[in-house]
Structure 1
Amino acid sequence: MVDLAPRSAVQADVSAPPSLRRYYVLALLTIIYALNFLDRTIFNVLIEPIKKEFALSDTTMGLIAGFGFVLFYSLLGIPIARLADRISRRNIVAAALAFWSAMTLLCGLAQSVATLTLARIGVGIGESAGTPASQSLISDLFDKNDRPRALGIYAIGTYLGVFLGYFIGGWVNQHYGWRTAFFTAGLPGVALAGVLWLTVAEPRRSAPADQQVRDAWRPTLGFLISQKTFLIVLVGFCLTTYTNYATSAWIPPFLARVHHLSSVEIGTYAGTFKGLFGMAGTLAGGLVVARIGRRDDRWKLWAPAMTSGLAGPVFAVCLLTSDFTTMVAALALTSFLVGFHLGPIFAIAQTVARPNMRALASAIILLTATCFGQGLGPLGVGIINDLLAGSSGAYAVRYSLLSASLTTMLGALFFLWAAKTIRADIVRAAG
């Protein structure tokens, strides 16, 4: 395979100690993943001003926030991931980052619902290419036992992006308007794409080159589908992802409508108690599971099942309490518990797949879950909001979000089920 990295990037990569080099790549990809979620999340905190300017319903806002993003994200993600199993993943991530950042800038220039929706679709197209290639790259830098910790660190980008999206969206919108918020979110990614391309070289793949070329779509998909752990985890992850995206989209309107917070206050409280505590949970999940999973691979699913199941009743308390302090504390704990499973689940998708299938495995589990979670989560809550508006008014969002409390508990049951087959499937993938 031809490495298209600049000579300076290759030299810098070779001269650094291997452990330091791989953690530099991990840190850079984590920041890029954070920008991925920054560009998604900032739309959510801007739902109220966008809805007001274009006179839209909650159902329409749910469509733009959800299916407007995931439509092409899901359609293009798998073929791009299959390409990433063959060519430079570094180049794919750099190009994808530059593209979705440019599309975020265009969101701020939208003069109609149609142009805003098209720009959101563009963000989805760019982001579909970034994560599967990044996870495949990381999996070639870290072995089976270190992978939960590495992908747990990488998954911190989810909540770091949520944190930044809420803060930037809330503060910039308050002082400069929602369009400027999109400009602020999009600019850093264009610059960081150049940094990635200039300083990171494509690592050696775990699978032999002839095997990478030989494996075709049908046998690759056939193997992944035959892995029971992969299929069961996929269903569970779809359910927990519904929880993640439904709350990400509708917590800002919940804080505005039920607790009457301003844009700046929403950015502060949502960013701190959802973003930062989500990051803490994601980091804890990667570190804890990497340690206890060495003794028994089933703990890689038992632990995420426990935390995902507990998140359901805690989030119900967050929604139904009238006490502001209790609400904030429950939101923080929910974010910690929901974030815990991300790194371990990402690692499972990589570990029960063969090395030359990792980008595709990542794409299938991530894109399917995102299509379900981000497609149905914001839309489902938006539809229930409109249905309950006549009887509950602004408080409808409080009750519609209870659906997210249920889905995380259902996801936990699937994780427990998948734990029964994980050991056999890891052996089969290694063989």
Structure 2
Amino acid sequence: MATPADINRHEEVAPDKASSAALTALCLLLALNLLNFIDRYILPGTQPLIQAEFKVSDQAMGALTTALFITYMCTAPLTGWLGDRFRRKPLIVVGAVLWSLATLFTYFVHDYWTLYFRHALVGVGEATFTIFAPAVISDYFPARDRNRVLSIFYLAIPVGAALGYLIGGQLGERYGWRTPFFVGAIPGLLVAAAYWIWAKEPVRGGAEGHASEVKPSREEMWRNSAGLFRNAGFLCATLGMAMLVFAMGGISTWMPTFLHRFAGMGVGKAGTVLGAITVADGLLGTAIGGWVAQMWLKRDHRALYLVSAWSMILTLPLAALVFFGPAKWSVAALAGAEFFLFLNTGPLNAAIVNSVGAEVRSTAIAVNLFLIHMLGDTFSPQIIGAISGWATKNGGLRTGLGLTLVTMVVSAVLLFAGARFAPRLEAEQKPL
């Protein structure tokens, strides 16, 4: 009778046999990430309609995103521990099924607090997939290739967000705000089934050349986890990302409402315009940012951090023009700001996974996700909503969104500082 260890050895894919398995896994994980962000951004696309039906404040609507990320953060440490000890494939499938079912459940919601509970439950599912997917990809591809591969993987963010805005705004305006959630949920269940059938588990650490099937002891895991907080490259990248996520979380949640209120757009048009900008800028910005970083890496090992820092600096003036400039310039300025904001998507995520060893990578991603959401988008939509309510005489939502300019500056400073600790990728990745 086969033991669990025998099954693991049978299903794991060695690095020299991984090319087709790696491509299959990357395509399926990309599809799941796309659906993940579609489901997440349907809510902002339908937000004015939901707010009108339930008659709740801006702060209450922002609290929905807070609920998602609180459960996300609370689940992340456990899932990170599981990912460093057990096969990631079943954990990825469970997470995808859970968030898809929670999205489907929204179709039957008829009061604010049920919607609040539903949105919180989505965070549990996302906290599994978003931790394990980058770790699995990193076991298929070596450090020098991860910026390029992760840039491809994270193209799902702008495309998924754009489709979420579009599906939410257009279907919500025509058929009611519940319909988009039903439409968004079904594909996730189908792709999760496909991943279960066709994806293989890569050998842990295979891309670094020190593959091992031996599970670390509890003492080793504690030591490796504690080492993360002495790893300056990891901490600077994580805290810089946290400040970025504060800004992006607040802007992505409130921008459809901002365009509705200040640019005079209908709900459907706001979702369509924002979706078009997000998908165009996301594809171009993520691709160009990944390409620039890849070229820069050939002569400077700090490139992943530097591209990410300059991305923040270049975004600042255009974002200020969106929030405080004339309404007629808001769309053009938003297009420019989002382009520069997306430049860091691949490089910054690659910097994080490259800064740690394979034996602690799932835990590191879990710690990263915990910190970026605790300090970032868990509270930023609610804070911006609260400022909007308090500062009605001074622009309301404009003033709230202005807070994100401060966090962009802090992000740039942290990332420039982190460049000093960037690992040299020519050398073999060392354990913490």
TM-score with structure 1 length normalisation? 0.92
Q: Does 1:341 align with 2:344?
A: yes
Contact 1:311 1:409 in 2 (8 A): no
> Which sections of structure 1, spanning at least 5 residues, go unmatched?
none
Q: Which residue matches 1:127?
A: 126
Give the superposition deviation at 1:332.
Answer: 1.3
Opposite residue 144 of structure 1, the aligned amino acid is A
Distance 1:260 1:28 in 2: 39
Give the superposition deviation at 1:423.
Answer: 3.2
Shift in alpha-carbon separation, 1:172–1:345, aligned structure 2, 3 A? same
SS at match of 2:203: coil
Deviations 1:53-98 (A, max 9, x none): 1110111111112x11111110111211210112121111111101
Q: Which residue matches 2:391?
A: 388
RMSD: 2.3
Deviating more after overlay: 197-206 vs 292-301: 292-301
Opposite residue 252 of structure 1, the aligned amino acid is P
Opposite residue 387 of structure 2, the aligned amino acid is I
Distance 2:265 2:362 in 1: 42
Contact 2:173 2:268 in 1 (8 A): yes
Deviations 1:317-339 (A, max 9, x none): 12222253x32221112111111
Contact 1:90 1:201 in 2 (8 A): yes
Q: Which residue matches 2:63?
A: 63
Give the superposition deviation at 1:279.
Answer: 2.9
Q: Which residue matches 2:264?
A: 260
Q: Does 1:357 align with 2:365?
A: no
Deviating more after overlay: 201-210 vs 50-59: 201-210
Equivalenced residues, count: 422
Contact 1:64 1:117 in 2 (8 A): yes
Q: Which residue matches 1:74?
A: 73
Q: Within 5 Å, which residues of 2 pair with 1:202-281?
A: 202-206=201-205, 207-210=211-214, 212-213=216-217, 216-281=220-285
Distance 1:342 1:424 in 2: 20
Contact 1:312 1:406 in 2 (8 A): no
Contact 2:250 2:381 in 1 (8 A): yes
SS at match of 2:283: helix
Give the superposition deviation at 1:211.
Answer: 5.5
4+ aligned runs moved over 3 Å, structure 1:
1-5, 16-21, 211-217, 423-429
Shift in alpha-carbon separation, 1:243–1:279, aligned structure 2, 3 A? farther
Give the superposition deviation at 1:104.
Answer: 0.7
Give the superposition deviation at 1:299.
Answer: 1.2
Distance 1:300 1:192 in 2: 31
Q: Which residue matches 1:137?
A: 136
Q: Within 5 Å, which residues of 2 pair with 1:39-54?
A: 39-54=39-54
> Which sections of structure 2, spanning at least 5 residues, go unmatched?
206-210
Deviations 1:4-44 (A, max 9, x none): 69x9xx69x89x97434322321221221121111111111
SS at match of 2:356: coil
Q: Which residue matches 1:303?
A: 307
Distance 2:6 2:150 in 1: 24
Deviating more after overlay: 265-274 vs 398-407: 398-407
SS at match of 1:401: helix
Opposite residue 403 of structure 1, the aligned amino acid is L
Q: Does 1:158 align with 2:157?
A: yes
Opposite residue 142 of structure 1, the aligned amino acid is F
TM-score with structure 2 length normalisation? 0.92
Opposite residue 110 of structure 2, the aligned amino acid is Q
Q: Which residue matches 1:117?
A: 116
Give the superposition deviation at 1:424.
Answer: 7.0
Give the superposition deviation at 1:408.
Answer: 1.4
SS at match of 1:146: helix
SS at match of 1:46: helix
Distance 2:225 2:17 in 1: 36
Opposite residue 359 of structure 1, the aligned amino acid is S
Give the superposition deviation at 1:203.
Answer: 1.0
Q: Which residue matches 2:430?
A: 430
Distance 1:246 1:3 in 2: 47
Q: Does 1:286 align with 2:290?
A: yes
Structure 1 vs Structure 2: percent identity of aligned residues?
27
Q: Within 5 Å, which residues of 2 pair with 1:172-211?
A: 172-206=171-205, 207-210=211-214
Give the superposition deviation at 1:295.
Answer: 2.2
Q: Which residue matches 1:368?
A: 371
